[in-house]
Amino acid sequence: LKAWTQVGDLTHELKEKEVLIRGRAQTTRAVGKNMAFVVVREKGFTVQCVVTARPDVVSKQMVKFAAGLSRESIVDIHGVVSVPSIAIKGTTQQVEIQVSKLYCVDKAMPTLPINIEDASRSEKEIEEALEAGEQLVRVNQDTRLNYRVLDFRTSANQGIFRIQCQVCNIFRQFLLSEDFVEIHTPKLIAGSSEGGSAVFKLDYKGQAACLAQSPQLHKQMAICGDFGRVFEIGPVFRAEDSYTHRHLCEFTGLDVEMEIKQHYTEVMDIVDHLFVTMFDHLNKKCSKYLEAVGRQYPFEPLKYLPKTLRLRFEEGVQMLKEAGVEIDPYGDLNTESERKLGQLVLEKYGTEFYILHRYPLAVRPFYTMPCYDDPKYSNSFDVFIRGEEIISGAQRVHVPEFLVERAQACGIDVSTISTYIDSFRYGAPPHGGFGAGLERVVMLFCGLNNIRKTSLFPRDPLRIAP
Ligand code: ATP
Ligand code: AMO
């Protein structure tokens, strides 16, 4: 038999068929000298393989060898699919394999720093196991991150990073179909791009430089160069001092910039169509992975509308006020009020995904265009999932004199961004865009509680390895 079957594809339909699989020996168990069970895992899916001593097919030594395999060793198994009369507990697949041949392709060391079975349990399963007096090691976040390669092997993590891959895939496919051009802006830059101090400074052959805290300036310059509509999927560096559940020092930015013909709502239209398309796709095409994540970290599917709700900042402030939360109408929302507003919006409009627009100008970056009708506000927006920000966006100032004025008002040293400012002196179309954080999109779509779960090798103020 030469064709390989994936463990995730082993279903009742394959009953009595011969199959060949490759996976990891997750657990092994001997029953007397004539029988052993090996649970084999591949990409987060598991199946029970039964090794029974049979004359001319499986020797007793083979049974012993199977029972003695070290956990996480890689095995090839050849056998016949069978359907047991009772439901199988503890594996994702509801069939077994009656083994005729078993080869160990690569042996793992006998004891590992993380037991994948223990690391795959939900909080509820851990509590039940402990109550039942089971021996079990609770695997904390730091241990998981220290031994990330092993941690990746849980079904939940296999799901998370396959979902993440699809988020990027849909982001790219959708924008390409809307005539956007994919660009790659430099990550080594001369000055801060967002204002503020959260940059990693470095020495660039004797010149002061920093790691880009956003592709902001260069994506706008691409618009000045007549690319019309651009996007980028790339690393973003922020020297965050805060150790929170949603801030990383390096994350993946999903950035968009586009000419606008009349109004900044054209940018919000793209956000609306893009993200509704993405969520529909994830629900339809990634259900296996969403289930795997939900088994370990239970969550409710995201509630969103076919046409995304757009709420004015002022209306948000009013809703909070009516709920007894006093906030400065020209200030920013803090984490708590963002959460509260998320709840109020869900109750009133039945959605956990919405756009809040026309933010006060004072709380937005220098490049943000003020509202024509009331310059205390701006043509800007944030987008929320489950009460937490995933996107910031806005129309930009494209008039160079005004841009200089705004940069100075925000305390920015204009000399560090002079080539950016000059780009607008050669004639620039009205434009706008937005930036989303990939790790936040996945974290919040899956209702996860920490951004480190959706970053492959997270970088935060306390961690730069592995
Ligand atoms: P960014 O603006 O860099 O995209 P963000 O919008 O998620 O990230 P900030 O703008 O830094 O976060 O802050 C948004 C709000 O989150 C702030 O108004 C602040 O109240 C809150 N916040 C930021 N950092 C922390 C922190 N370490 N602890 C608690 N709240 C924080
Ligand atoms: P902003 O600073 O709001 O806007 O960032 C855009 C999005 O990036 C994500 N994000 C983060 N994710 C993880 N860790 C962090 N430390 C972090 N900081 C931000 C969030 C956020 O919504 N140039 C503008 C975008 C634009 O206007 O086009 C910008 O960078 O999901």
Tens of pLDDT, residue by residue over 85-144, are 998 888 999 999 999 999 999 999 999 999 999 999 999 999 999 999 998 889 999 999
Report the range of poorest mean pLDDT among 89-93, 174-178, 392-396: 89-93
Closest Cα to atom 25 of ligand 1: 242
Is 419 touching ligand 1 by the criterion CB < 6 Å?
no
Report the range of poorest mean pLDDT among 56-65, 68-77, 189-198, 262-271: 189-198
Closest Cα to atom 17 of ligand 1: 334
**Closest-lying ligand 2 atom to the alpha carbon of residue 238:** 16
Q: Per-residue confidence at 252, pLDDT binned at 50, 70, 90?
A: very high
Residue 335 alpha carbon to ligand 1 centre in Å = 7
Please tell me the predicted confidence (pLDDT) of residue 194. 77
Residue 332 alpha carbon to ligand 1 centre in Å = 10
Question: Does pLDDT of 357 surpass 90?
Answer: yes
* DSSP letter assigned to residue 295: H
Is 335 touching ligand 1 by the criterion CB < 6 Å?
yes
DSSP lists the bridge partners of residue 208 as 203
Q: Region 50-57: what's the mean pLDDT? A: 97
Question: Does pLDDT of 416 surpass 90?
Answer: no
For residue 34, how far is the Cα from the chain centroid?
46
Rounded-to-integer distance, Cα 111 and Cα 83, Å: 32
- Which of the ligands is closest to the CA of residue 461? 2
Please tell me the predicted confidence (pLDDT) of residue 26. 96
Say what the ipTM of the complex is: 0.90
Model confidence pLDDT, tens digit, residues 309-348:
999 999 999 999 999 999 999 999 999 999 999 999 999 9
**Closest-lying ligand 1 atom to the alpha carbon of residue 238:** 3
Q: What burial class does residue 334 get, using C-beta atoms within 10 Å of its C-beta: 0-12 exposed, 13-18 middle, 19+ buried?
A: exposed
Q: Region 272-279: what's the mean pLDDT? A: 98
Please tell me the predicted confidence (pLDDT) of residue 269. 98
Rounded-to-integer distance, Cα 321 and Cα 258, Å: 35
Q: Region 283-306: what's the mean pLDDT? A: 97
Model confidence pLDDT, tens digit, residues 55-70:
999 999 999 999 999 9
Is 461 touching ligand 1 by the criterion CB < 6 Å?
no
Q: Per-residue confidence at 196, pLDDT binned at 50, 70, 90?
A: low
Amino acid at 16: E
- Return the SS3 of 78: strand
Residue 46 alpha carbon to ligand 1 centre in Å = 40
Closest Cα to atom 3 of ligand 2: 392
Q: Region 21-31: what's the mean pLDDT? A: 97
Task: Report the predicted TM-score, pTM, of the whole model to 2 decimal places.
Answer: 0.95
Q: Per-residue confidence at 242, pLDDT binned at 50, 70, 90?
A: confident
**Closest-lying ligand 2 atom to the alpha carbon of residue 213:** 30
Instruction: Spell 300-329 as b/e; 16+ CB within 10 A means b.
Output: eebebeeebbbbebeebbebbeeeeeebee
Cβ atoms of 443 and 225 closer than 8 Å? no
**Closest-lying ligand 2 atom to the alpha carbon of residue 380:** 27
Is 242 touching ligand 1 by the criterion CB < 6 Å?
yes
Q: Region 1-23: what's the mean pLDDT? A: 95
**Closest-lying ligand 1 atom to the alpha carbon of residue 334:** 20
Average pLDDT, the chain: 96
Is 257 touching ligand 1 by the criterion CB < 6 Å?
no
Mutate to test the pocket of ligand 1, among 194, 216, 254, 335 (most ligand atoms within 8 A of CB): 335
- Which of the ligands is closest to the CA of residue 440? 2
Closest Cα to atom 5 of ligand 1: 389
Residue 387 alpha carbon to ligand 1 centre in Å = 13
The helix/strand count (H/E) of the chain reads as: 14, 16
Please tell me the predicted confidence (pLDDT) of residue 7. 97
Q: Region 420-431: what's the mean pLDDT? A: 97
Question: Does pLDDT of 197 surpass 70?
Answer: no
Mutate to test the pocket of ligand 2, among 171, 183, 214 (most ligand atoms within 8 A of CB): 214
Question: Does pLDDT of 1 surpass 80?
Answer: no
Rounded-to-integer distance, Cα 440 and Cα 324, Å: 29
Mutate to test the pocket of ligand 1, among 193, 254, 366, 389 (most ligand atoms within 8 A of CB): 389
Residues catalogued as catalytic:
238, 240, 246-247, 389, 392, 440
Closest Cα to atom 19 of ligand 1: 334
Q: Region 161-171: what's the mean pLDDT? A: 98
Calculate Rg over the CA atoms of the chain.
Answer: 27
